Structure 1
Amino acid sequence: MARWLVKTEPDECGIDDFARDPKNPITWDGVRNYQARNFLTEMAEGDDVFIYHSSCKHIGVAGVVKVARAAYPDPAQFDPESPYYDGKSTREKPRWKAVDMLFQRKLERLITLDELKGIAGLDDLPLVRRGSRLSVMPVSDEHWQIILQQEKRN
């Protein structure tokens, strides 16, 4: 089992959206960066994922979801009405992927980016590296545990 972090704007699809209907998965679509797409392709059913709220007032790790369905062609790429439409993508050779994810839990508190940047052992976590803007990234088991340990701290 692998572990991941996905960035989202909470007013678009945050941890509260997953919590609202915890038994029904949400499709994670609209990723239009090739490296992030490649990471989506590596996700497998059962993988754990941190939901990271970005581009908002309170930035940080907010909760945990689980991959409910491994990568498949992102349906939005074929919909001309979608902001994620890609006219160069075909059903025979889709360019973009989506995964379905299912709510696990909200963290007891938001673990902020500033806090993560100051934690020993996270220096090589892509999220805290300057210039890292990927919306999907792997998280090592060690980093996963370090982040979860911060949940109980004030």
Structure 2
Amino acid sequence: MTNTKDARRFWLMKSEPDECSIDDALAAPKSTVPWTGVRNYQARNFMRDEMKIGDGVLFYHSSCPEPGIAGIAEVASATRADPTQFDARSDYFDAKSDPEKPRWLLLDVKALRKTRLLSLAELREDPELADLTVLKRGNRLSITEVNASDWKRILQLLK
């Protein structure tokens, strides 16, 4: 979506607020949280291959009564092994993942600010956002790219 490899890119990252909300992220040390539990190869590949420190993030609350964008954040680290894949007590345990060659990765996300909730319904109502991946039927990815014009429009709607 971006035509230069070094240009800042933008992402929408979904989190269930009862697991990690924008408030939780802002309350964390340095307002930074590890983005654990990604168990989709395409989302993992975005983190590993595409996302860079400083990229913009729309912090999206999902699987809740009113899903939507709840804050602005940024990518704060490179990827590393997600330790939850090796923890048998974790909901994200993966018995097939090898510590020598981890299957699942995480990166850190730094919350910058909480916003008003920009609901999924409100996103759907804006014709300028018609191509936003999160609005596509059947999309269940926890991480999706947001093009620069959609990022700018969303920031306008949040003012």
Query: TM-score, normalised on structure 1?
Result: 0.92
Local SS of the residue matching 2:123: helix
Q: Which runs of 5+ in 2 are unaligned?
A: 1-7
State which of 110, 135, 156 in structure 2 corresponds to 1:149: 156
Give the aligned CA root-mean-square deviation in angstroms.
1.3
State which of 37, 47, 51 in structure 1 corresponds to 2:55: 47
Query: 1:58 aligned to 2:73?
Result: no
Partner amino acid for 2:121?
D
Local SS of the residue matching 1:143: helix
Query: 1:67 aligned to 2:79?
Result: no
Structure holding more strand per residue: 1
**CA–CA distance in structure 2, aligned partners of residues 24 and 18 of structure 1:** 5
Local SS of the residue matching 2:19: helix
Local SS of the residue matching 1:148: helix
Identity level (%)? 51
1:78-93, aligned counterparts within 5 Å? 78-93=86-101
Partner amino acid for 1:37?
R
Query: TM-score, normalised on structure 2?
Result: 0.89
Do 2:72 and 2:112's aligned partners in 1 also have CA atoms closer than 8 Å? Answer: yes
Query: 1:135 aligned to 2:129?
Result: no
Q: Which runs of 5+ in 1 are unaligned?
A: none
Partner amino acid for 1:78?
F
Runs of 4+ in 1 over 2 A off after TM superposition: none
